[in-house]
Amino acid sequence: MIPPEIKEEIKYRCDIVDVISGYVPLKRAGSNYNGLCPFHSERTPSFTVFPSTKSFYCFGCGAGGDVVTFMMKRENLDYRSALELLANRAGIALPPDEKNETPVGTVKRERVLNMNREAAKFFHSCLYSPVGAAGLAYLTRRGLTGATIKHFGLGFAPDGFGALTDFLQKRGYTAEEMSAAFLCGISKKSGRPFDYFRNRVIFPIIDVTGNVIAFGGRVMDDSVPKYLNTSDTPAFKKSRNLFALNFAKSSCSERMILCEGYMDVIACHAHGFENAVATLGTAITPDQARIMSKYTKQVVISYDSDEAGQKATAKAMRLLGEVGLDVRVLRIPGAKDPDEFLNKNGSSANEKFRLLLDQSRAGFEFRLESVLSKHDITKVDEKIKAAEELCRIISEVWSESEREVYIGVVSEKLGIPKESLAGDIKRMIRSRDRSEKNEEFGEIVRKTAGFGDRINQDTVKNAAAVSAEENILGIMMLFPENIGAVKSGRIKLSPDDFYSDFNRRVFEEIMERCDGSRLFDYGDLAEDFNPDEMGRITSMIERRRPLTANGEDVLSDMIERLRAEKAQKRFSEAGDTRSAIEDILARQREKLKKR
């Protein structure tokens, strides 16, 4: 266990506003700070940082906790790893983890990073050995020099089932650790590990701090999949990383190029365009869009021009626009991607590519041309289809003035009065707003009833009892003197009073951690609860914070309500409603006598 005084010092030096400001632009709102949530997409800020309590909470998605919880959720870390990251930032040395208290069946992030570094060295050495001849020939044929190969740390995975696993086992790594790092699978027949990456050119994925966090592999034959990418591990979350951002972050403040694959990015960097990045084998995610908004003002999308590329471009435009980026689309004449264009244009490639970037079109212009290319607007029915599609695109634009400009352009192109187009767009916006409100209302109803509650699955069985439990816990954590009243026996409350397993566990941890020798810090619960669970725990506090009455009387009332709800549920399940009513009345009479 890390001593409480060291944890307190880390949190003191790592001011929560300063730390979160490195990920989210925050604006002061009274005594607090607001910003767009880094954990879900939104246009209106619902993410709040509370400097007075050194905590944060998103009223949209329910994420919450202290600065350690934030780092756990944002960087995909366990509790100790998040503390270590913050301790390094603050210049504080943590005591060694002598007991190695990693839960059974889990692998620490630091262990995975060390393993990845060894694997990257192994793959790179194989590329320049006889077993890597095919891989080196492929990269040379694609125009990569030795300097570029070294710069990106490219490598080769031999065509065998045990090359990497044998290498890592000799260095003390177990099959369980290699499997957790997505470097090997475990045979169901023999139980032996086997290499995931075989006969593939390897592209190490490196984070902005220089750690090798994952790998991508391009096969040398007709095997499938053509590209194999590391799945999520304790050190890597695919949706929150970008290939080559470790290099691009220093040269993309004005413009970033978003490519489709590893080779496009490498080709761009090799020709001096070091502001290029790529998503990792999947379509762009909201997290990746938010990461890009942290480093640049404008993103130029350079995806393939086929149907799949067009769909991916439309999605990227929407997500990047939602985070406030200026989005443009690159057209590459005579080539399918930047890699092909740069390699076929010789000495003039750099100048021509830079000109293409400068001439890249705004997102709406690109979508306008795409729609008009699909429809023959000289025909009435085709013109109607084009108008409907363009109106739907404009209706998704957030800015009203921007919509007015686009309406004027479409009106001129299609020969339809602006008033008619504006009317259709308003109807679409109203219809979508109604749908969103209905869905929002339905989600509130489902949440209230407990349906889909992944944190506390007992909610759906007895929502009223769980609500009472959360009020009890919120009062106790908001005013820890109430914890003392329970511990002293002045207020009668025990784990057996709780209906739900999750809230019972929270209560037991609170009682164990509050020993009266120091102030209770609910953030310490992150040692035993994951970031999503910490969000629920934070919500218990934030729901009680605006209320003026959070004393012992209210706490006692909530405890009585919880017991009554449990009794009613128990008797209703037994079919004895009369006994349930009598039990509730008896409790009320006893309560009145005490008063």
Listing DSSP states for 205-239 in one string gives EE-TTS-EEEEEEEESSS-S-SEEE---BTTB-GG
The pLDDT of residue 342 is above 80 = yes
pLDDT band at 451 (very low <50, low <70, confident <90, very high): low
Distance of CA 431 to the CA centre of its chain: 30
> Residue 20: what pLDDT?
95
The pLDDT of residue 104 is above 50 = no
How is residue 113 written in tokens?
A: 């990073």
pLDDT tens digits, 386-444: 999 999 999 988 778 889 999 999 999 999 999 999 999 999 999 988 887 887 676 65
> Residue 580: what pLDDT?
59
Query: Do the beta carbons of residue 215 and residue 119 sit within 8 Å?
Result: yes
> Of the ranges 95-99, 100-104, 259-263, 503-507, which one carries the lowest mean pLDDT score?
100-104
> Residue 581: what pLDDT?
62
What is the distance between the terminal CA atoms of the chain, rounded to a whole angstrom? 44
> Residue 106: what pLDDT?
66
Return the axis-axis angle of helices 79-90 and 67-75, rounded to nearest 10°. 110
- Please determine, looking at this structure, whether the domain spanning 4-90 carries the CATH number 3.90.580.10: yes
Show the 3-state SS of 477-523.
Answer: HHCCHHHHHHHHCCCCCCHHHCCCHHHHHHHHHHHHHCCCCCCCCHH
Q: Which residues of 185-216 are buried (b: 16+ CB within 10 A; e: fewer)?
A: beeeeeeebbbbbbbbbbbbbbbeeebbbbbb
Q: Which CATH class is domain 245-366?
A: alpha beta
> What is the share, in percent, of the chain residues with pLDDT greater than 70?
91
Going by the DSSP 8-state scheme, the letter that residue 96 receives in this structure is P
Average pLDDT over residues 481-486: 89
> Residue 222: what pLDDT?
83
Average pLDDT over residues 21-43: 89
> What is the share, in percent, of the chain residues with pLDDT greater than 90?
59
> Of the ranges 384-388, 444-448, 547-551, which one carries the lowest mean pLDDT score?
444-448
Average pLDDT over residues 202-224: 93
Average pLDDT over residues 105-117: 86
> Residue 498: what pLDDT?
95
Average pLDDT over residues 109-138: 96
Show the 3-state SS of 293-329.
Answer: HHHCCEEEEECCCCHHHHHHHHHHHHHHHHCCCEEEE
pLDDT band at 587 (very low <50, low <70, confident <90, very high): low
The pLDDT of residue 273 is above 80 = yes
> Residue 105: what pLDDT?
52
How is residue 192 written in tokens?
A: 């032996």
User: What phi, psi does 186 have (nearest 5°)?
Assistant: -115, 120
> Residue 585: what pLDDT?
66
Q: Which residues of 403-422 are buried (b: 16+ CB within 10 A; e: fewer)?
A: beebbeebbebbebeeeebb
State which amino acid sits at residue 443: E
pLDDT band at 366 (very low <50, low <70, confident <90, very high): confident
Going by the DSSP 8-state scheme, the letter that residue 114 receives in this structure is H
> Residue 21: what pLDDT?
92
Average pLDDT over residues 485-503: 93
Distance CA 70, CA 538 (A): 12
* DSSP per-residue string spanning 5-69: HHHHHHHHHS-HHHHHHTTS--EEETTEEEE--TTS--SS--EEEETTTTEEEETTT--EE-HHH
Distance CA 483, CA 163 (A): 57
Average pLDDT over residues 154-167: 96
Distance of CA 512 to the CA centre of its chain: 32
Q: Is the dihedral of CA 368, 374, 377, 380 positive or negative?
A: negative
The pLDDT of residue 303 is above 70 = yes
Distance CA 68, CA 171 (A): 32
Query: Do the beta carbons of residue 332 and residue 302 sit within 8 Å?
Result: yes
Topology given in CATH for the domain delimited by 463-594 = DNAb Helicase; Chain A (1.10.860)
Predicted TM-score of the model (pTM): 0.74
Share the mean pLDDT of the chain: 89
Return the axis-axis angle of helices 4-13 and 67-75, rounded to nearest 10°. 80
Query: Domain 109-236: what homologous superfamily?
Result: DNA primase, catalytic core, N-terminal domain (3.90.980.10)
What are the DSSP E strand ranges found in 342-424?
A: 361-362
> Residue 379: what pLDDT?
94
pLDDT band at 98 (very low <50, low <70, confident <90, very high): low
